[in-house]
């Protein structure tokens, strides 16, 4: 029987801080996060790799569990999109900038917390999504999956306890309701983006808020 990844994600009692900036060396050593669905097996493999490579166990374990949690919550939400009749999945899971096609338009799915550095309130962001979308493109990391292609943002926030926003990523019934409501009547925006080389881009963007009031 295949491990129920949703149940395994619910077992996590805390999400430790990264402890260090993401790096290629530890990313390569922790690629097992993509194939392991059981939390117990994840911890077992983490201990084995840390011992074999001489990594500090506590730091490496924090790094691994964050990658595992972020990847698998992303995949669960991606499945929600792909189960909708307006959506077709991208057949290549390693495509650098496309996860699915909404009404034929390609999108990369991005799950993110409501950014604490954003200079406006959550209410302002909800009333003026264009500004938040532009900010998210402008402030994205220049490493890894940086791009100026179309993006679908799902923004999470725990209003009562912002430090617990990570838990909203696994409130799957709530997320599915927000995703379905958006897909029934998609409201797409044109982002205004200046790339690293100074070129101007106007990708399509979607913005879905998933807020837990507490």
- Write the pLDDT tens digit of every residue in 28-62: 999 999 999 999 999 999 999 999 999 999 999 99
- Burial readout 66-92 (b: 16 or more C-beta within 10 A, e: otherwise): bbbbeebbbebbbebbeeeeebeebee
What pLDDT is stored for residue 145 in this prediction?
60
DSSP designation for 2: -
**Token digits for 72?**
């698998």
Ranges of H-type helices in the chain: 5-10, 24-29, 39-53, 57-82, 122-127, 129-139, 165-168, 172-184
Please write the tens of the pLDDT for every residue from 179-207: 999 999 999 999 998 877 788 989 999 99
Of 179, 185, 114, residue with least CA distance to 152: 179
The backbone torsions φ and ψ at residue 125, rounded to the nearest 5 degrees and listed phi first, read: -65, -40
Measured CA to CA, the distance from residue 127 to residue 21 in angstroms comes to 33
Q: Render pLDDT for 77-122 as a digit per residue (tens, 0 to 9).
A: 999 999 999 999 999 999 999 999 999 999 999 999 999 999 999 9
The model's pTM: 0.93
Q: Which of 148, 152, 130 is nearest to 140 (CA)?
A: 148
Would you state the pLDDT for residue 121? 96
Q: Tell me the two tokens of residue 54.
A: 């001489």
Question: Could you identify the residue written with the tokens 């084995």?
Answer: 48
């Amino acid at each position: 029987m295949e491990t129920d990844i949703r149940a395994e994600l619910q077992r996590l009692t805390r999400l430790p801080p990264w402890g260090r900036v993401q790096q290629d060396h530890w990313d390569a050593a922790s690629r097992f996060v993509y194939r392991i669905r059981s939390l117990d097996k994840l911890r077992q493999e983490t201990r084995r790799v840390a011992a074999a490579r001489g990594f500090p166990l506590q730091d490496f374990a924090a790094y691994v569990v964050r990658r595992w949690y972020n990847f698998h919550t992303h995949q669960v939400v991606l499945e929600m999109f792909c189960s909708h009749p307006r959506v077709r999945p991208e057949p290549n899971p390693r495509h650098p900038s496309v996860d699915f096609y909404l009404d034929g338009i390609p999108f990369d799915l991005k799950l993110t917390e409501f950014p604490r550095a954003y200079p406006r309130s959550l209410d302002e962001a909800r009333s003026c999504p264009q500004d938040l979308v532009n900010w998210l493109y402008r402030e994205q990391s220049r490493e890894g999956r940086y791009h100026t292609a179309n993006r679908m943002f799902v923004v999470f926030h725990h209003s009562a306890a912002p430090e617990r926003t990570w838990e909203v990523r696994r409130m799957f019934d709530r997320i599915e309701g927000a995703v379905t409501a958006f897909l029934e009547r998609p409201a797409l925006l044109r982002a205004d983006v200046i790339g690293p080389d100074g070129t101007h881009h106007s990708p399509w963007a979607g913005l879905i808020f998933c807020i837990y009031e507490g």
